[in-house]
A and B are shown apart, each in its own frame.
Chain A
Amino acid sequence: MAYIGLLSLLAVMLGLSVVLISLNWLLGPKKKEPYKTYPYECGVPLYDDTAQTTFHQGYYILGLLLLLFDIEVAYLFPWAVVYNYLGIFGFIEVFLFLLILTFGLVYAWKKEALDWQFDLESL
């Protein structure tokens, strides 16, 4: 009986979502248009007809680099919050952390991961 509130919340959730979806389905206008089923690709025409094509390798490398620097920023926020408390120790630690990540960027740069205009011969 202690969980009766939770159960009622669940019932309300389910009921509300069922009601909203069915209202949408009942009242919404139904017009067939070609662009409705057209896949969305950033406002430009599709490059390929299907979704199952091979992507350029560069996208993956870009994704990896994005992950790298995203995580860098994510770790910098908590450091910035307690900066006054940590002082010079925190500064050195973050400096080392950034240095390692910078080496990652330099590595990617030198290995021409950022250079997309390569010919197929060099692969």
Chain B
Amino acid sequence: MDIRLLLGSTNLYEFKYLLPEITVFVGAFVLFLLDIVMKNSETKKRIFLWISILFLALSMLSFSFKNEFFKDVFSGTYTIDTLGTFSKIFEIVLTLMVLPFLHTYMNKKNTFYYEVYYITFLGLLGMMTLSSSYNLIVIYVSLEMVSISFYIMTALFRGSFISKEGAYKYLIIGGISIIIALYGAAFMYGASKSLDIRAIMSSYNDTNSVYLIVGMILFLLAFAIKIGIIPFHFWLPDAYTAAPTPITGFMASAGKLAFFIPLLRLVPYVNQHLYSSWMISVSILAAITMIVGNALALVQSDLKRLLAYSSIAHSGYILSVLSSNSSMGLKAAIYFVFVYSIMGLGAFLVLSVLEQTEEWDNQLFKIGGLYRNTGFLSISFAVFIFALLGIPPTVGFVGKALVFLGLAIKNIYWLGFVLILATAISTGYYVRIVVLMFMKDVEIRFKPHYDVLENVSIGLLVFLTFILGMFPFVLWNGISNISEFLFKIANMR
């Protein structure tokens, strides 16, 4: 049989829509081959860094080769749309910012693995495919791709027992979540005879409702484990603490963004019949996550663990507005996901620079008087902390205000009050960090190391934190169109 007959239904020219993904994949392959061919040396480390940056830049450039706002390619298994493109660009930018930190951190900690570069690339590829598909199988495979990269990267800390322990916990619970997702997908497929989430959700009627709802619950449970919603969050603080800090930042920003995208895509398809059950279940989970996540963060004495719990709480904020199931709610959720990836990444990256000094062991009290050791780092850390708390000139405020608006528009006021209460709890630990940094005596004296690329990265994140907070319409106009477009497409079916 001829190859063209078998590939008959596939239009080969459609591969041009996959150009960014293909570039990232080729980058991973080139790095892999270089790792096999080259001898270990300082030059090789630098070459790896620059080749990764080159391929990510090429991938960014290749977005300009396609100009489609909405298109299903490869028989509907892959969707090119604005949300997908937007999140893919964001994921690539976040990866670009992580890379220099990864380089210096691993050098300093004597734990340099060349594998980490191409595993990062493969994880990024998984995130990119996860961000742009409605197909259950594609979502499943990309979930596996992202998760397996994260398991490996969590364990990549030479000689650290905690790293292996966190990775193992992550592996077990992540594996369970994948199984649950697959089980739910099987139920959904059985009930609706389709693998496309859009068709599955539109096929809801009373005859097949039981299996469809069982499938949806299982599928959403799997995503709840992945994004760290509270009754299923147990792996998250351990894995985030165990991983090398730049990788924690990568997981908390780009990874969380990618895990949220399928949930965001689901929201416009929650129709009248499903709305009340969706609203009740999601809002209760979100309320528990917000309150308990912040309360647990309040008692942490480890700075990295504190930020991990704060990441859980932020998942709760984003999930809460998904319960409103309106165009406004979806806008707020997309906005908050994007801005959380900026501020969360910033906080973890500052921590990764601090960790490279000898005396630093992430204990909360050691941050005392950080301002006298390093002005730039402490001020940028304070900016990220204030953004996470939601103080006005930063993005965090705009995000939380939009979340509240999204809840108010559907009269879910109680969840809005829970949000405010949770933010009030979070003030306790966020402000404590800032007070320790600026108003206490110096706990340990050290001179943090200096790297141009790292400081450019942190500076850019601080800049984004302010500029998107003061001029939110820069991001908002795009997101507003995306959300309304998603709802329009959903209502057309």
Q: Which of A88-118 contact B (CB under 8 A)?
A: 88-89, 92, 103, 106-107, 110
B206 touches A (CB below 8 Å): no
In the bound assembly, the distance between CA atoms of A9 and B2 in angstroms comes to 52
B6 touches A (CB below 8 Å): yes
Contact of B6 among A89, A103, A106, A107 (CB under 8 A): A89
B452 touches A (CB below 8 Å): no
In the bound assembly, the distance between CA atoms of A92 and B6 in angstroms comes to 13
B3 touches A (CB below 8 Å): yes
Q: Which of B123-181 contact A (CB under 8 A)?
A: none
Contact B3 A106 (CB under 8 A): no
Interface size bracket, B side: under 10
A87 touches B (CB below 8 Å): yes
A86 touches B (CB below 8 Å): yes
* Chain B residues closer than 8 Å to A110, beta-carbon distance: 35-36
The DSSP consensus for interface residues of chain B is: helix
Contact A89 B36 (CB under 8 A): no
Contact of B3 among A85, A89, A103, A107 (CB under 8 A): A89
Contact A89 B32 (CB under 8 A): no
* Chain A residues closer than 8 Å to B36, beta-carbon distance: 103, 106-107, 110
In the bound assembly, the distance between CA atoms of A110 and B2 in angstroms comes to 38
* Chain A residues closer than 8 Å to B1, beta-carbon distance: 85-87, 89
Contact A88 B3 (CB under 8 A): yes
Contact with A along B1-29 (1 / 0, CB 8 A): 11100100000000000000000000000
Chain A residue nearest to B7 in the complex (CB): A89
* Chain B residues closer than 8 Å to A86, beta-carbon distance: 1
Query: Which among A86, A89, A103 has the highest number of chain B CB atoms within 10 Å?
Result: A89
Contact A103 B2 (CB under 8 A): no
In the bound assembly, the distance between CA atoms of A103 and B31 in angstroms comes to 13
Chain B residue nearest to A85 in the complex (CB): B1
Contact B32 A107 (CB under 8 A): yes
* Chain A residues closer than 8 Å to B35, beta-carbon distance: 107, 110
Least distance between A31 CB and chain B CB atoms (Å): 46
Q: Which of B24-44 contact A (CB under 8 A)?
A: 32, 35-36
What are 13 A-B pairs with beta-carbon distances under 8 A? A85-B1, A87-B1, A89-B1, A89-B2, A89-B6, A92-B3, A103-B32, A103-B36, A106-B36, A107-B35, A107-B36, A110-B35, A110-B36
Interface residues of A (CB under 8 A from B): 85-89, 92, 103, 106-107, 110
* Given pairs A88-B2, A107-B32, 17 additional interface contacts (CB within 8 A): A85-B1, A86-B1, A87-B1, A87-B2, A88-B3, A89-B1, A89-B2, A89-B3, A89-B6, A92-B3, A103-B32, A103-B36, A106-B36, A107-B35, A107-B36, A110-B35, A110-B36
Interface residues of B (CB under 8 A from A): 1-3, 6, 32, 35-36
